[in-house]
């Protein structure tokens, strides 16, 4: 049995809070889910979660222009620089403050971060690849001038200028790379009556749009120096004497120190905080920085030679000619949305489209600069927390934190590209389907959702759910309806449920009556009430191969029932009764091994007892109190080691081969035990998110006084709690309680996939899926100096497909393998596959499975699959243990494609029948016409 389970996906939650962003290709949406990032591929309709974890809940995200780097920042101001393709963390940084806005520059290698009232410009050598340095992030400059927090920022199209919006009701335009030897002030754009939530440049960088929370949008236009004299200045504003021509000045944000006082008065008072006083500068990347800083970054003193380039001198002279103008407010518009405020906004500069999300759940699409409403739609019943647009301007993505909803809307065709909503409450239970293709989850929000293990999307067929309202409901997920309800004769709260292997009966345990109800699945008739427990029934589980049922109760006992043979007898009657422990501790969970030889039960004293149901005796006891010990909660008066609360398991699951046991409970750990030796093999920590309680083993000792832990004092230094306290409506309100409450990390339920390759845990963050099927992006084997991508392409040009494929498989690069794979002629696939050594079979099978999932060339992939099984059937049978993961992936991909092809065939059944009938009729008519023409020919008449 392998134990190298790695985190694979996060289901049950698609969006929590923070920024939703598109990748530069516009086909993938990145959504923050707690302290993780989920990636939704809109072309293949699949989702995957990056393996990294942030320190706390993610609030801001930004993707570089080339799509290689992803910067995420949590609510505490800690950032992580991530390689988006690999999902690996390259660098972690503390910005030492709450980050309210962040964006990558169109110029490669620059990142702007708004911390408090300042904007910090960073240079990333990893992105620019122009110099060799040990520093992954280099601080270039700070841009100041605002007197309150900066809430938004945006770069111009050329990346040389930036506009920022602040809570001080103003916006400022900054020059990032002024010519050397010049001093400049940023320009203030004032005129809003509420905080500025968004600010953007147009495509030509000659117009700035600022959007305020009170649904007002102001349009600012650049007035060049030669046109400035034609405007009359009075009362602090320029009058519209003549419309400004459409110009795209390179320095639309610059103003020389000592320029016209009238211009300075019209645009707002300047600020010297961001003035660059050093005249000795050099051109670095795409802008000017100080000579000393440049030499420090490049590691040499010869960097100033770049400034001598003639092209850079011409560019500098062009900038000099465009100085001296200012900005003028030319229009003001108001969005009429029934008193709703603006919660988020974004702009697609190339098509001049402004997308605005409102607090009422409505979004508006407007054509700028006329602010003409093109489209409005209500996509949520609550506030739209984040809005973004893809590179082509066709798809709009919206996130609603209150509902946990993520929507992608194509505004031209008015259709949903993606609409997913996670659970609003904590997950309580999870279960795999018998084929391992689906997972069902139940939550505190009184909803049951079915998730596809292949795509990660909410989907499903049929399921049963039990609730404390005293009913069991059967749902048909194909028709999206409840087709049967099973009710108790008297009101009762159901705590657990189980279905026999052949789905003839469904049973449920009661919290009030201490009995087990048995219903007929088909008729919904109550067949029996099994009594015998003297406390609430906490858990039920059927034998996988027989009709035997085991039940656990708070009375400390386990009872085994023969359900069908007990029908008709008074009270049912149990076959065998076991004591869970010598102390008669309450039973919290039970599991029956797939081989029908073991029953495992967890008790509140922290032990797991193993029984042989056939012999009726105990075969082992696992003492797990020290294994399940979790972190320390904020309200705990003792350390995590001495805290007795939660030191027991609440869910158990056997592996497919019955050799190991998976256990989870009110702790941050999930444990795997070897059954025969009762040994702990591995512990998995479910989360490192500090926004959850119970993650840290030791809390900050400065809040521990002589009276114990001071919770309120600790919250005064917690930025997340301060933000929540500011949002509360009034003391004691429900909203304030929800905002300040922290969920405790725990595992409510666990389930093993029938394939044995993955398992899932229900947690407050969502459904965490761990799998053995993770593929590594680059894991080369048998390399030498001749094994290179160029060698593979040379072999491909010479039509040596076998050599090219083997080199690609040895390098294990998907892009190169795909290039070779698609170039292979269809009639040579069988011969090529027969030459593939057995050592590469696992990689080739896994690659074909991924191609079948992502590519529409179904017939081409089926030819490869047929050749693989025809040429290597014996090897696949012999290497079943090694190929288990790839074959499972291939089976899932085939099942998914079969459903799509079957659906398309059924939809086109009558059309195909009609075309076949028409073709046959035409062929018959053509035959008849040919026969009649031949019979009437002169040759035929002469023969007669």
Q: What percentage of the chain carries pLDDT values higher than 70?
A: 76
Cis? peptide before 369, omega within 30° of 0: yes
Q: What is the rounded CA–CA span in Å between residue 678 and residue 695?
A: 27
Regarding pTM above 0.85, the answer is no
Q: Where are the beta strands (DSSP E) in 259-352?
A: 281-284, 287-290, 326-334, 342-348
Buried-state track 625-660, b at ≥16 Cβ within 10 A, e below 16: eebbbbbbbbebeeebeebeebbbbbbbbbbbebeb
The residue to which tokens 């659906």 are assigned: 903
Q: What's the pLDDT at 583?
A: 64
136-140, 171-175, 344-348, 712-716 — which is least confidently predicted?
712-716
Q: Are 691 and 57 in contact (CB under 8 A)?
A: yes
Q: What's the pLDDT at 356?
A: 94
CA angle 275, 226, 320 (to 5 degrees): 40
873: CB partners within 8 A, 6+ apart:
none
pLDDT band, residue 136 (cuts 50/70/90): confident
| pLDDT single digits (tens) 510-555 | 888 888 999 988 888 888 888 888 889 989 988 888 778 899 998 8
Evaluate if residue 738 carries a pLDDT over 60: no
| Residue 801: φ, ψ to 5° | -70, -35
**DSSP state string for 42-80:** TTTTEEEE-S---SS-EEEEEE-TTS-EEEEEETTSEEE
Exposure of 846 in the CB half-sphere (CA atoms within 13 A): 20
> What does the pLDDT average to over 424-439?
81
The residue to which tokens 């590691």 are assigned: 299
| pLDDT single digits (tens) 249-282 | 333 333 333 333 333 333 333 343 443 333 333 3
Q: What is the rounded CA–CA span in Å between residue 500 and residue 546?
A: 8
Cα–Cα distances (Å) from 310 to 283, 302, 306, in that order, read 12, 17, 9
- H or E element, residue 891: helix 884-907
Within a 10 A sphere around the Cβ of 713, how many other Cβ atoms? 11
Q: What's the pLDDT at 311?
A: 46
Q: In whole numbers, what is the pLDDT of the chain averaged over residues?
A: 78
> What does the pLDDT average to over 399-427?
86
Q: Where are the beta strands (DSSP E) in 500-536?
A: 505-510, 515-520, 526-531
Q: What is the rounded CA–CA span in Å between residue 536 and residue 511?
A: 5
410: CB partners within 8 A, 6+ apart:
394, 395, 396, 416, 417
Evaluate if residue 941 carries a pLDDT over 60: no
Q: Are 453 and 892 in contact (CB under 8 A)?
A: yes
Longest dimension (CA), the chain: 127
More confident of the two residues 712 and 689: 689
Q: What's the pLDDT at 459?
A: 63
Q: What's the pLDDT at 101?
A: 94
> What does the pLDDT average to over 200-208?
91
Q: What is the rounded CA–CA span in Å between residue 12 and residue 9?
A: 10
Q: What's the pLDDT at 111?
A: 93
Q: What is the rounded CA–CA span in Å between residue 791 and residue 787?
A: 6
Q: What is the rounded CA–CA span in Å between residue 524 and residue 485?
A: 7
Q: What is the rounded CA–CA span in Å between residue 704 and residue 687?
A: 25
Q: Are 196 and 171 in contact (CB under 8 A)?
A: yes
Q: What is the rounded CA–CA span in Å between residue 409 and residue 22?
A: 13
Q: What percentage of the chain carries pLDDT values higher than 90?
A: 20
The residue to which tokens 């900005």 are assigned: 327
| Residue 913: φ, ψ to 5° | -65, -40
225-239, 369-383, 574-588, 606-620 — which is least confidently predicted?
225-239
- Tell me 839's DSSP state: G
Q: What's the pLDDT at 574?
A: 63
Burial of 112 per CB tally in 10 Å (0-12, 13-18, 19+): buried
pLDDT band, residue 120 (cuts 50/70/90): very high
Question: What domains sit in the chain, N to C, each tagged with a CATH number?
Answer: 461-577 (2.130.10.10), 580-698+741-771 (2.130.10.10), 789-897 (1.25.40.190)
More confident of the two residues 307 and 193: 193
CA angle 88, 93, 96 (to 5 degrees): 150
Long-range (24+ apart) CB contacts under 8 A made by 595-599 are: 595/657, 595/658, 596/543, 596/544, 596/545, 596/546, 597/658, 598/654, 598/658, 598/675, 599/550, 599/558, 599/560
Q: What's the pLDDT at 735?
A: 44
Q: What's the pLDDT at 122?
A: 93
291-295, 602-606, 807-811 — which is least confidently predicted?
291-295
Q: What's the pLDDT at 720?
A: 44
Buried-state track 537-549, b at ≥16 Cβ within 10 A, e below 16: bbbbbbbbeebbb
- 3-state SS of 609-656 is EEEECCCCEEEEEEECHHHHCCCCCCCCCCCCCCCCCCCCEEEEEECC
Evaluate if residue 290 carries a pLDDT over 50: no
**DSSP state string for 762-812:** EETTEEEEEES-PPPS----S--TT-SHHHHHHHHHTT-HHHHHHHHHHHT
854: CB partners within 8 A, 6+ apart:
44, 46
Q: What's the pLDDT at 229?
A: 53
Q: What's the pLDDT at 704?
A: 58
Q: Are 691 and 34 in contact (CB under 8 A)?
A: yes
Q: What is the rounded CA–CA span in Å between residue 427 and residue 417?
A: 27
| pLDDT single digits (tens) 548-601 | 889 999 888 888 888 877 654 544 556 677 776 666 788 989 999 888 889 999
Angle (deg, nearest 10), helices 858-871 and 884-907: 140
DSSP 3-state of 820: helix
The residue to which tokens 């960088």 are assigned: 205
Evaluate if residue 719 carries a pLDDT over 50: no
83-92, 155-164, 601-610, 750-759 — which is least confidently predicted?
750-759
- H or E element, residue 427: strand 427-432
pLDDT band, residue 207 (cuts 50/70/90): very high
The residue to which tokens 């910090």 are assigned: 120
Q: What's the pLDDT at 295?
A: 42
């Amino acid at each position: 049995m392998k134990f190298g389970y790695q985190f694979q996906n996060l289901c049950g939650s698609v969006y929590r809070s923070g920024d939703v962003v598109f990748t530069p290709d516009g086909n993938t949406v990145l959504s923050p889910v707690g302290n993780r990032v989920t990636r939704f591929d809109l072309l293949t309709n699949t989702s995957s979660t990056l393996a990294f974890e942030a320190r706390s809940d993610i609030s801001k995200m930004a993707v570089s222009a080339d799509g290689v780097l992803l910067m995420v920042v949590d609510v505490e101001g800690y950032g992580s620089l991530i390689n988006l393709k690999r999902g690996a963390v390259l660098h972690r940084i503390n910005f030492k403050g709450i980050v309210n806005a962040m964006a990558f520059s169109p110029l490669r290698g620059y990142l702007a971060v708004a911390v408090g009232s300042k904007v910090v410009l960073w240079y990333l050598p990893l992105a620019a690849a122009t110099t060799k340095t040990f520093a992954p992030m280099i601080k270039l400059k700070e841009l100041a001038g605002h007197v309150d927090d900066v809430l938004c920022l945006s770069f111009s199209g050329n990346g040389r200028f930036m506009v920022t919006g602040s809570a001080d009701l103003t916006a400022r335009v900054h020059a990032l790379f002024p010519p050397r030897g010049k001093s400049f002030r940023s320009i203030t754009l004032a005129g809003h009556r509420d905080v500025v939530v968004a600010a953007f440049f147009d495509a030509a960088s000659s117009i700035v749009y600022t959007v305020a929370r009170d649904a007002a949008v102001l349009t600012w236009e650049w007035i060049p120096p030669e046109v400035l004299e034609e405007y009359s200045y009075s009362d602090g504003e320029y009058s519209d004497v003549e419309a400004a021509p459409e110009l795209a000045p390179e320095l639309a944000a610059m103003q020389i120190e000592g320029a016209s006082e009238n211009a300075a008065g019209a645009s707002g008072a300047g600020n010297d905080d961001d003035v660059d006083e050093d005249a000795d500068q050099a051109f670095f990347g795409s802008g000017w920085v100080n000579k000393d800083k440049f030499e420090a970054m490049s590691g040499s003193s010869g960097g100033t030679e770049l400034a001598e380039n003639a092209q850079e001198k011409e560019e500098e002279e062009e900038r000099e000619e465009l100085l001296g103008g200012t900005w003028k407010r030319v229009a003001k518009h108001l969005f009429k949305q029934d008193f709703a405020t603006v919660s988020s906004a974004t702009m697609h500069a190339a098509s001049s489209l402004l997308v605005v999300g409102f607090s009422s759940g409505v979004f508006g699409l407007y054509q700028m600069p006329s602010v003409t409403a093109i489209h409005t739609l209500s996509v949520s019943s609550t506030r739209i927390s984040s809005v973004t647009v893809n590179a082509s301007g066709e798809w709009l993505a919206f996130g609603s934190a209150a509902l946990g909803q993520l929507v992608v809307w194509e505004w031209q065709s008015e259709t949903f590209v993606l609409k997913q909503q996670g659970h609003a409450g904590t997950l309580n239970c999870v279960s795999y389907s018998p084929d391992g293709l689906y997972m069902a989850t139940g939550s505190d929000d009184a909803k049951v959702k079915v998730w596809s293990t292949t795509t990660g999307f909410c989907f499903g067929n049929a399921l049963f759910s039990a609730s404390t309202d005293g009913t069991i409901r059967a749902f048909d997920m194909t028709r999206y309806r409840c087709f049967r309800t099973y009710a108790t004769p008297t009101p009762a709260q159901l705590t657990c449920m189980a279905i026999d292997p052949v789905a003839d009966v469904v049973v449920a345990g009661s919290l009030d009556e201490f009995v087990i109800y048995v219903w007929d699945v088909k008729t919904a008739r109550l067949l029996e009430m099994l009594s015998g427990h003297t406390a609430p029934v906490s858990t039920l589980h059927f034998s996988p191969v027989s009709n035997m049922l085991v039940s656990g109760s708070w009375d400390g006992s386990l009872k085994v029932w023969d359900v069908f043979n007990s029908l008709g007898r008074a009270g049912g009657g149990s076959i065998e009764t076991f004591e869970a422990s010598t102390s008669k501790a309450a039973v919290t969970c039970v599991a029956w091994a797939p081989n029908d030889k073991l029953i495992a039960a967890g008790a509140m004293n922290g032990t797991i007892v193993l029984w042989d149901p056939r012999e009726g005796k105990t075969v082992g006891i696992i003492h797990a109190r020290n294994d399940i010990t979790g972190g320390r909660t904020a309200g705990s008066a003792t350390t995590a080691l001495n805290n007795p609360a939660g030191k027991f398991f609440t869910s158990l699951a056997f592996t497919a081969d019955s050799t190991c046991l998976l256990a989870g409970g009110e702790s941050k750990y999930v444990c795997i035990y070897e059954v025969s030796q009762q040994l702990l093999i591995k512990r998995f920590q479910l989360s490192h998110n500090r926004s959850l309680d119970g993650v840290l083993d030791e809390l900050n000792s400065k809040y521990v006084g002589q009276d114990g832990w001071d919770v309120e004092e600790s919250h005064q230094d917690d930025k997340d709690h301060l933000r929540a306290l500011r949002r509360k409506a009034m003391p004691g309100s429900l909203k304030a309680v929800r905002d300040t409450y922290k969920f405790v990390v725990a595992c409510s339920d666990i389930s093993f996939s029938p394939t044995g390759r993955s398992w899932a845990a229900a947690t407050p963050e969502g459904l965490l899926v761990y799998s053995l099927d993770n593929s590594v992006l680059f894991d080369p084997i048998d390399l030498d100096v001749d094994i290179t991508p160029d060698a593979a392409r040379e072999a491909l040009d010479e039509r040596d497909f076998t050599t090219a494929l083997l080199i690609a498989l040895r390098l294990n690069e998907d892009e190169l393998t795909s290039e070779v794979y698609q170039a292979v002629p269809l009639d040579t696939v069988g011969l090529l596959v027969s030459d593939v050594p057995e050592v590469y079979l696992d990689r080739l099978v896994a690659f074909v499975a991924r191609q079948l999932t992502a590519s529409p060339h179904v017939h081409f992939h089926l030819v490869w699959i047929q050749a693989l099984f025809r040429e290597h059937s014996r090897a696949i049978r012999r290497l079943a243990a090694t190929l288990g993961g790839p074959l499972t992936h291939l089976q899932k991909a085939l099942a998914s494609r079969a459903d799509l092809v079957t659906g398309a065939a059924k939809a086109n059944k009558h059309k195909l029948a009609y075309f076949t009938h028409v073709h046959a009729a035409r062929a018959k008519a053509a035959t008849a016409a040919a026969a009649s023409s031949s019979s009437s020919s002169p040759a035929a008449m002469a023969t007669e």
